[in-house]
Amino acid sequence: MKMHNNDVAELFDRLADLLEIEGANPFRVRAYRNAARLIRSLPRDVADMVAAGEDLTRLPGIGEDLAGKIKTIVETGTLPLLEEEARKVPPELAELLEIEGLGPKRVKVLHEVLGVRSLEDLERAVNAGKVRELPGFGEKTERAILEGIQRLRAQYGRMLLATAEPVAEALREHLAATSGVERVEIAGSYRRRKETVGDLDILAIAAPDSPVMDRFTTFEAVARVQSKGTTRSTVHLRSGLQVDLRVVAPQSYGAALQYFTGSKAHNIAVRRLAVKRGLKINEYGIFRGSRRIGGAEEEAVYASVDLPWIPPELREDRGEIEAAMAGRLPDLITQDHIRGDLHVHSKHTDGRYSIEEMARAARDLGYEYIAVTDHSRRVAMAHGLDEKRLRQELEEIDRLNERLEGIRILKGCEVDILEDGRLDLPDSVLAELDLTVCSVHYRFNLPREKQTARILRAMDNPYFTILGHPTGRLINERDPYDVDLDRIIRHAAERGAILELNAQPSRLDLTDTACQQAKELGVKIAISTDAHTVHDLRFMRYGIDQARRGWLEAGDVVNTLPLNDLLDLMAKTRHARAA
């Protein structure tokens, strides 16, 4: 079985979890975490690199030892060190690390003192009031743990879109290459590009003698075959995803694609329109009475109810039907509209590549500009920049801009928003920058009013440009901090502040609905990758997916602007706020 990048990264993350519980050297743990993060970001499978005999030690942070472990995983599907650690640490304990606020030290205490080995054990201990009695825990921590258990259970079964995508696309290509297969598409929430997917629905047109079901059930990533038939089969992948394959008649394909793409609410709205016209629409076609009158193409489904084709990302019953009726569907943004990335890190803080390497990679993607936004001093874990180091970085950018052709490096900084709403660096330094990405990185637990006031005050600073990852969420890992996002969006409209749509697959912050609200109020969005490696720059497509779900057009996004227009916009905003 071929090991995809996520499979390799999962093993390294699992090893890091077990080592943390065991109390291993934190630098050793971090090395495995960094390796997992890097591998997930690579545009190619490490399995292909190993097969081609490439030197993995050329990857940043990958030495001989890690390269050897990657090769072992790719060739055997296992990691001996992980199996060794799993014998030392009850594997169920690693699952507890997914609960927010439960680090390895606390998990170890829960295990050793209360005998906790699983979520169920922990839940029983919480309900019995035993956790609050432990030193360093208390009632507040106990309540937070219970809430974390509930969130974790609610998240089970849903996978990040970016995690599901490599195996989903490999499976699509595998099926498309099967003899007798004419069309293959993945429908459902995957096609609507939701930030997480619970399962995959695949539709195909295939000849009666096609071996497509055999190819499907024997795909390399299949862990278990739940059912197998001539027109429908269900499998479970090693990743945990359930996948259904349906072979559909050509005359029904468009109707089936529309039906299985969803969402349910959108489909109900379309079918209500059909009923008013004396029609019936289902997964088999468009019917007038018992006579099929269409359904081979998806466009025909919408045309039958006097609607233009609606992009899958909009099909959530959030006004798209009404907009289509009125001829006001948005001209959604695409990757081709993007001219640059406004949130990128380098080796000066916690990035893995030099400024020049990041700039050259951006140029290779066809970008006109890139903003280097290394962390300010408050983020000590990332070796944040003080005034002196930031000015040294700005001098380096000047030198690079003099000799690099085809790309402009903008001077930026990811500036921490302090607890009282001040920015982490003095205005005298911020004035030297082209832009700032201002972010909250600590004290996520402030009360709603204080957290909101903190960000509102920061927006009043004349050198505030972009609000970075506005709610601080990590999908399936950390809830957004408690903040009045409606007030923040309205204040951004008043102050000319830009909101970031952070394209990191685990963030995708803003949400689609927040993007739609910002658009309605005229607030501009920056779709940025928060890249820490050259490979992370390719995460832009996930930001584009989210933006399209939020109804954004090219004119709503600042990094679709030519360089001079972008600089003019930011300068005008700065002057207006300073007035």
Residue 213 has pLDDT above 70, yes or no: yes
Give the pLDDT band of residue 403 (cuts 50, 70, 90). Answer: very high
d(CA 438, CA 424) in angstroms, rounded, equals 9
Residue 441 has pLDDT above 90, yes or no: yes
Give the residue ranges of DSSP H helices in 193-313. Answer: 212-217, 253-261, 264-276, 298-303
CB of 311 within 8 A of CB of 298? no
Question: What are the sequence ranges of the domains in the chain?
Answer: 5-155, 159-247, 258-325, 335-578
* Beta carbons within 10 angstroms of residue 315's beta carbon: 23
Return the pLDDT at 368. Answer: 98
CB of 421 within 8 A of CB of 491? no
Give the pLDDT band of residue 370 (cuts 50, 70, 90). Answer: very high
State which fold the 258-325 domain adopts: Beta Polymerase; domain 3 (3.30.210)
pLDDT above 90 coverage of the chain, percent: 71
Return the pLDDT at 123. Answer: 82
Return the pLDDT at 153. Answer: 66
How far CA 566 is from CA of 153, 261, 561, 576, in Å, comes to 44, 37, 6, 16
Return the pLDDT at 133. Answer: 86
Higher-confidence residue of 138 and 243: namely 243
CB of 552 within 8 A of CB of 510? no
* Beta carbons within 10 angstroms of residue 226's beta carbon: 12
Residue 378 is classified by DSSP as T
Higher-confidence residue of 130 and 285: namely 285
Residue 347 is classified by DSSP as T
Return the pLDDT at 210. Answer: 97
Return the pLDDT at 556. Answer: 98
Return the pLDDT at 156. Answer: 62
Residue 151 has pLDDT above 80, yes or no: no
d(CA 547, CA 557) in angstroms, rounded, equals 9
State which fold the 335-578 domain adopts: TIM Barrel (3.20.20)
CB of 541 within 8 A of CB of 41? no
- What are the tens digits of pLDDT across the range 406-434? 999 999 999 999 999 999 999 999 999 99
Residue 425 is classified by DSSP as S
Residue 440 has pLDDT above 80, yes or no: yes
| Domain 159-247, CATH | 3.30.460.10
Residue 157 has pLDDT above 70, yes or no: no
Return the pLDDT at 98. Answer: 76
Give the pLDDT band of residue 25 (cuts 50, 70, 90). Answer: confident
Give the pLDDT band of residue 349 (cuts 50, 70, 90). Answer: very high
Give the pLDDT band of residue 23 (cuts 50, 70, 90). Answer: confident
Q: What is the mean pLDDT of residues 539-556?
A: 98
- What are the tens digits of pLDDT across the range 82-121? 888 878 876 667 778 778 777 777 888 888 888 887 777 8
CB of 506 within 8 A of CB of 475? yes
- Choose the weakest-confidence range: 67-71, 148-152, 179-183, 424-428: 148-152
Q: Kindly state the tokens that stand for 360.
A: 């050259």
d(CA 484, CA 501) in angstroms, rounded, equals 17
Higher-confidence residue of 321 and 574: namely 321
Give the E-state strand segments of 121-279 in sequence order. 159-160, 181-186, 196-197, 199-206, 222-228, 232-237, 242-247
CB of 466 within 8 A of CB of 423? no
- What are the tens digits of pLDDT across the range 487-539? 999 999 999 999 999 999 999 999 999 999 999 999 999 999 999 999 999 99
d(CA 48, CA 237) in angstroms, rounded, equals 20
CB of 376 within 8 A of CB of 424? yes
Residue 300 has pLDDT above 80, yes or no: yes
pLDDT above 70 coverage of the chain, percent: 98
Range from 32-46, 230-244, 510-524 that averages highest in pLDDT: 510-524
Residue 469 has pLDDT above 70, yes or no: yes
Dmax of the chain from CA atoms? 77
Mean pLDDT score of the chain: 92
| Domain 5-155, CATH | 1.10.150.110
Q: What is the mean pLDDT of residues 309-336?
A: 97
Give the pLDDT band of residue 572 (cuts 50, 70, 90). Answer: confident
